[in-house]
């Protein structure tokens, strides 16, 4: 089971990482905090002190086009905010 889907790399998360030593990930919806902690520690070789999760529900979207009224839904995701131990960092930009 692949627990971590992708890291959240935005301006807001970069500021939080610099200030609070916290990184964000999009994770599998069925993963719990213990699985997320083990996956981050094994994948990046860092010590995790705290994991906070949040479920972001999908939203209904609708728009009018030439073809008519189109409606759909965005997918629901689970996010994990992982606090790293003092002195540990994860560099997402190293292989760009």
Strand, helix or coil at 49?
strand
In this structure, are residues 83 and 50 in contact, taking their beta carbons and an 8 Å threshold? yes
Domain architecture of the chain: domains with CATH: 4-84 (3.30.70.330)
Task: Give the predicted TM-score (pTM) of the model.
Answer: 0.85
Judged on CB neighbours under 10 Å (0-12, 13-18, 19+), 61 is exposed
Least Cα distance to 24 among 55, 51, 59, 58 occurs for: 51
**Residue-wise pLDDT tens digits, 50-70:** 999 999 999 999 999 999 999
Instruction: Note the pLDDT of residue 71.
Output: 94
């Amino acid at each position: 089971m692949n627990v971590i889907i992708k890291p959240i790399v935005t301006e807001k998360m970069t500021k939080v990482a610099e200030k609070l030593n916290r990184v964000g990930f999009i994770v599998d919806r069925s993963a719990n905090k213990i699985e997320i902690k083990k996956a981050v520690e094994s994948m990046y070789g860092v010590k995790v002190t705290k994991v906070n999760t949040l479920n972001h529900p999908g939203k209904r979207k609708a728009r009018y086009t030439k073809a008519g009224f189109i409606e759909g839904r965005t997918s629901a995701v689970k996010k994990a905010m992982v606090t790293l131990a003092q002195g540990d960092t994860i560099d997402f930009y190293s292989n760009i």
